[in-house]
A and B are shown apart, each in its own frame.
Chain A
Amino acid sequence: MEEIGNLIQGFATVLEPFNIGVMIIGIVLGVIIGVLPGLGGANGVAILLPLTFSMSPTSAIIMLSCIYWGALFGGAITSVLFNIPGEPWSVATTFDGHPMAQQGKAGEALTAAFTSSFVGALFAVIVITLVAPLVARFALKFGAAEKFGVYFLAFCSFVGLSKEPAFKTVVAMMIGFALAAVGLDHMTGQLRLTFGFTELLPGFDFLIAVIGLFGIGEILLTMEEGLRFKGQSANINLRVVLQTWMELPRYWATSIRSCIIGCWMGITPAGATPASFMSYGIAKRMSPRGKNFGKGEIEGVVAPETAAHAAGTSALLPMLSLGVPGSPTAAVLLGGLLIWGLQPGPLLFVEQKEFVWGLIASMYLGNIVGLIIVLTCVPILAAMLRIPFPVIAPIILVLCAIGAYTVHNNPFDVIMMLVFGVLGYVLKKCDYPLAPLVLALVLGDKAEEAFRQALLGSQGSLTVFWSNGLVGSIMLLGLIALFWPTIQNGLARLRPRRAV
């Protein structure tokens, strides 16, 4: 019960007028940052970090974490409207969010995305409030083998997602792995597949690939199809919000499952991006409406958004209690903590009570304020689809180019973005799915590293992946997910016999 008392004190801190002010400013800035592709939460927080040096640590972390919540909300906006993920974790939101927008249901999709984000975050904050120390200990159990297990599970639960032939899925995934392998090999410290081009030294950044494949590819497709957006007839009044809310409780099972996946992935710390993919893949498997996924099913928006936001929020926990950031944004926040003279680690919860509980209270309030702000914007955002394509396409192109440039301040990245755009267009015309490529690109090198770290530790023995209960059950879950269609077939064949 001590936690509750601390939390109430935290609320008292957050409810000071100045702190509420910085909270609203933070959310609005965060939404803008989330909307701009490339300029992700991590960059945004890093750029705005110096602004906070004159504030007290508590006000500063409220502002920065609110920028983070804002970015998490904002990432969904362009995914739904223009098929351009503003953040890596909103890639999975495009799968059903954009088809919904094309059917004139942009308002519904946005409302569902924002509301599920809120639910995910709220669930994660409650987890943080109640079981913070326990959860921190769980995170410590994750060595290289366990991490590989989590990535393996993410890949497995995603395979078979696309309706394209398995061969095409595998090809797309292999292209992703090959792209992820370019650059420095962190395990040996040597360069791979750069062929002497120093431009390839940093490898292919996931963000640039996504901006190109989705953003530019989409614009090229739209140009071919007659220079106009589908879905101009979007409903643009606030009633949409209420109607969607009526519908959302139906997806409670998906919601809860996604919350758990998200929290788990955020703490382990695999991060929000794999959480959103995994949650989408599993929802597709488990949902009775799974066949409609990818065609504009609202549940396909609920699943990734809930998980991404739950993961993004719970990623702050390992940062606070262990000093290990669960996401790039958390890493920048960690730098901020140190600059303000706070030492993250096991003692932070003991020594800096006011700060920690102020932050946790601001997670509750920040998400509520964020939800209200973004929901009131739904009609305005949906109305953006009414702007004629010849007007908005150049704006999107310019924003994409700026976004690609800001990732590393490198003009070469803008060229890479265009190359990826053409690649995305070609792949789409040939009916190759983009999602497996993106998943492999974002997780490929991390999975490879964890795999090799685990094998180094076990001196080359593969049994390390079954060496304890934790990693063993994760790997088993992965295998079940991978062979689920076969298992289902087998079960279906068994059933009639039993009936006989």
Chain B
Amino acid sequence: MTTPTIRNAFGAWTALWFAAVLGLVPAQAQWQPNRPVEFIIPAGTGGGADLMARTIQGIVTKHSLMKTPMVVINKAGGAGGEGFLDMKSSRNNPHKIVITLSNLFTTPLATGIPFNWKDLTPVAMLALDEFVLWVNAETPYKSAKDYIEAIKKAPPGQFKMGGTGSRQEDQIITVAIEKSTGVKFTYIPFRGGGEVAVQLVGNHVDSTVNNPNEAVAQWRGGKVRPLCVFDGKPLPYNEVIVDKLSWNSIPTCKSQGLNMEYLMLRGIFMAPGATPDQVNFYVDLFKKVRETPEWQKLMQDGAFNQSFMTGAEYVKWVTTEEQRHRDLMAEAGFLAK
């Protein structure tokens, strides 16, 4: 009677051992942080990435999604290069994650610092941030077509486009608009999206390509007007914002003759050398974060594209985007020599 039991037990052990080696056993997969997790923001306080990271920190704290605290740290120096290099040098530290924006690609390409996203471990895409072409509400331009026509009539460079940073997403979009329509802007870089929005309200620049959440307050206040969105299809948010208009009523730029689509990554990466179960912990964590009402509200307020990707799909997306940024920046002459 005992022999089969022993054999069974032996069999079970062998199976378990194999399973453990393959990483299939739940007990093995449940890696948990055992000290505070540092959440690096490669951008300054008050910007879009900062807001998202701090909201996540608030959600994780409020819903007790993690046993150890999450600490948010801004490392904005060198257009985020400081934060990325810090991540790169934190090999095998599973208690450090970074939220990215397009500077994941643009900063190394424009400055030549020794960093590439492949130095990090991809975790998940949380969302994509949209870009909208805005003009001051006092101007007569009702559509992107009107606006482009007006620029064509003026001498080149007379119209000023305000944007965040230099050789970054806002300027890349500006160059792409120039390429597709043949107009010429004077691009003026500022430090942050909020500052750019106010420069537009004060009529110090003629247009901006602010993210929705950077300009929504001024839109609601009737100070600025959206002309088109740089996405393939109109935004899905139908909630009325001002004068019966919603995010959904903004036409795509493509339909207005501006052949440009651009979305910005809001994604999470870990330091180099993270193991699959450590990655899985964070993937699960962010899945839980996405289910909370606070996250839904953030998505709606900022009219985000709610794509969520992990694993190979995410890697593939990032690889394609890197190549696209390289092409766009090479075309605009923005690559570091």
Contacts and interface: CB of A to CB of B under 8 A. Distances in A.
Given A343-B220, A408-B82, A456 B167 contact: no
Given A140-B198, A335-B51, A409-B73, A53 B62 contact: yes
Interface residues of B, number: 65
B82 A325 contact: no
Contacts of B216: 343, 345
Interface in A322-349: 322-325, 328, 331-332, 334-336, 338-339, 341, 343-348
A141 B203 CA distance: 8
Given A42-B45, A140-B202, A201-B81, A189 B166 contact: yes
Contacts, number: 161
Interface size class of A (residues with CB under 8 A): 35 or more
A239 interface: no
Contact of B50 (A202, A203, A335, A346): A335
Nearest to A47: B71
Interface stretch (B18-26, B107-115, B226-234, B309-317): B107-115
B174 interface: no
A22 interface: no
B78 A184 contact: yes
A323 B198 contact: yes
Contacts of B167: 188-190
From A139, A142, A335, name the one whose CB has the most chain B CB atoms within 10 angstroms. A335
A191 B85 CA distance: 15
Grouping DSSP codes into helix (H, G, I), strand (E, B) and loop, the B interface class, with mixed when no group exceeds half, is: mixed
B190 interface: yes
Contacts of A332: 45-46
A334 B223 contact: no
A296 interface: no
Interface string B193-220: 0110111011011000000010011101
Contacts of B54: 46, 49, 335-336, 339
A459 B221 contact: no
B91 interface: no
Interface of A: 42, 46-47, 49-50, 53-54, 139-144, 183-191, 198, 201-203, 318, 322-325, 328, 331-332, 334-336, 338-339, 341, 343-348, 408-410, 449, 453, 456-457, 459
Interface of B: 38, 44-46, 50-51, 54-55, 57-58, 61-62, 71-79, 81-82, 85-86, 106, 110-114, 157, 160, 165-168, 171, 186-191, 194-195, 197-199, 201-202, 204-205, 213, 216-218, 220-223, 297, 301, 334, 336
5 contacts: A318-B198, A324-B195, A346-B220, A409-B73, A456-B188
